[in-house]
Amino acid sequence: MIDASLPVAMFDSGVGGLTVLHECLVALPQEDYLYLGDTAMFPYGERDPAELRRRIALIVAKLLERGAKLLVIACNTATAIGEEVAREVAAKYGVEVVPVVAPQAEIAAAITDNGRVGVLATTNTVESGAYRRALEAEGRGLDVIEVAAPRLAPFIQEGSLFDEETMAMARGYCAPLRKAGVDTLILGCTHFPLVAPMLQRILGRNVRLVSGGHAVAAAIQRTLEGSGLAREGDDEGTYEFFCTGPVSSFGDVATRFLQMPLGEVRQVEFTVPA
Ligand code: DGL
């Protein structure tokens, strides 16, 4: 039985989804959260899509078996490749799904002045065409410039230091966006808001960066209120963290990015059927 006392479950391949969780903690602090970083399978951006869909189906089932009132796909690649399968599995548990691609496309389409929108994302996300379709669906006849940035999420996930090589990598990814004159850039990977200052510096003040977290938190609020599952009151909720890879590397990087203690991070193991 699904009721308002259950947590909101969310997952990502790693620490990227924390940018979504952060916005949720700001907008909906009274809710309980359950976060899974599928670090054993990181990076999703380069995995075979069929394998990823099997993995996503398993993760959604495991999370919802624990009991949750809503499933948030806090990962653009998982949304682009596996939103449909996630919805199919969640439907069996009677749970609604909030993905990350559509809310960002809506904002980008609304705020661009020159109609040129960039998308910086993983290889799988770009190849899926999910953002292109979502932006086209906005009906503004936008020019969409997509750039795959396969090395950026691993750099962030490892918690590496910014050096000249990092800057050269980021400048390389931004070059086609600058050349195309985009005035709006969708950070199409939930890891990327964690390096927004670097990207803003390279692209300049006039390019607006669109992160997913804020819009997704608003979508979560609407969905919970719409289904009568929002939690009332002023008490702060709880949060629980799980990862599928080593606990210490996840915990260190996640604590730094979220800027709060995570409590005990627990490791869970999933074996995906072949
Ligand atoms: N955070 C994931 C996303 O939003 C990507 C990182 C990965 O490649 O696993 O796309």
Q: pTM of the entire structure?
A: 0.95
Q: What is the residue range of 221's domain? A: 8-99+214-267
The reply to whether 228 and 176 lie within a common domain is no
Q: Which of 24, 75, 174, 243 is catalytic?
A: 75
Q: Which atom of ligand 1 is nearest to the CA of 13?
A: 9
pLDDT in tens, the chain (274 residues): 899 999 999 999 999 999 999 999 999 999 999 999 999 999 999 999 999 999 999 999 999 999 999 999 999 999 999 999 999 999 999 999 999 999 999 999 999 999 999 999 999 999 999 999 999 999 999 999 999 999 999 999 999 889 999 999 999 999 999 999 999 999 999 999 999 999 999 999 999 999 989 889 999 999 999 999 999 988 999 999 999 999 988 988 899 999 999 999 999 987 765 5
Tokens at residue 56, please? 């996503």
Which one-letter amino acid corresponds to residue 65?
A: E
Query: What pLDDT was estimated at residue 273?
Result: 57
From the candidates 24, 174, 189, 243, which is the catalytic residue?
189
Distances (CA, A) of 55 to 6, 78, 90, 204: 24, 10, 14, 38
Q: What is the pLDDT of residue 205?
A: 95
Quick one: pLDDT at residue 249? 86
Spacing, Cα 254 to ligand 1 middle (Å): 15
pLDDT of residue 219: 94
> Would the CB of 75 count as within 6 Å of ligand 1?
yes
Q: Is residue 174 annotated as part of the catalytic site, yes or no? A: no
DSSP secondary structure letters along 164-206: HHHHHHHHHHHHHHHHHT-SEEEEESTTGGGGHHHHHHHH-TT
Q: Do 118 and 196 share a domain, yes or no?
A: yes
Return the pLDDT at 145: 98
Q: How many structural domains is the chain composed of?
A: 2
Among the candidates 212, 229, 259, a domain finishes at 212
Q: Is residue 239 part of a domain?
A: yes
CATH of the domain at 249: 3.40.50.1860
| pLDDT on residue 272 | 64
Does the active-site annotation cover 243?
A: no
Instruction: Report if residue 274 sits inside a domain.
Output: no
* Pair 222, 88 in one domain: yes
φ, ψ (nearest 5 deg) of residue 24: -70, -40
| Domain identity same for 157 and 81 | no
Residue 241 three-state SS: strand
Quick check: is 154 in a domain? yes
Considering the domain architecture, whether residues 180 and 238 belong to the same structural domain is answered as no
Cβ within 8 Å of residue 61, ≥6 positions away: 89, 93
Q: How many CB atoms lie within 10 A of CB 210?
A: 25
Report if residue 1 sits inside a domain. no
Same domain, yes or no: 85 and 24: yes
**Angle, CA 7 vertex, CA 2 and CA 12 arms, to 5°:** 120
Sign of the CA dihedral running 185, 124, 198, 244: positive
Q: Would 3 be classed as within a structural domain? A: no
Residue with tokens 């796909």: 73
- Please check whether residue 147 is in contact with residue 120, taking contact to mean a CB–CB distance below 8 angstroms: yes
12: Cβ below 6 Å to ligand 1? yes
Q: Is the dihedral of CA 257, 79, 11, 172 positive or negative?
A: negative
User: Does residue 228 share a domain with residue 142?
Assistant: no
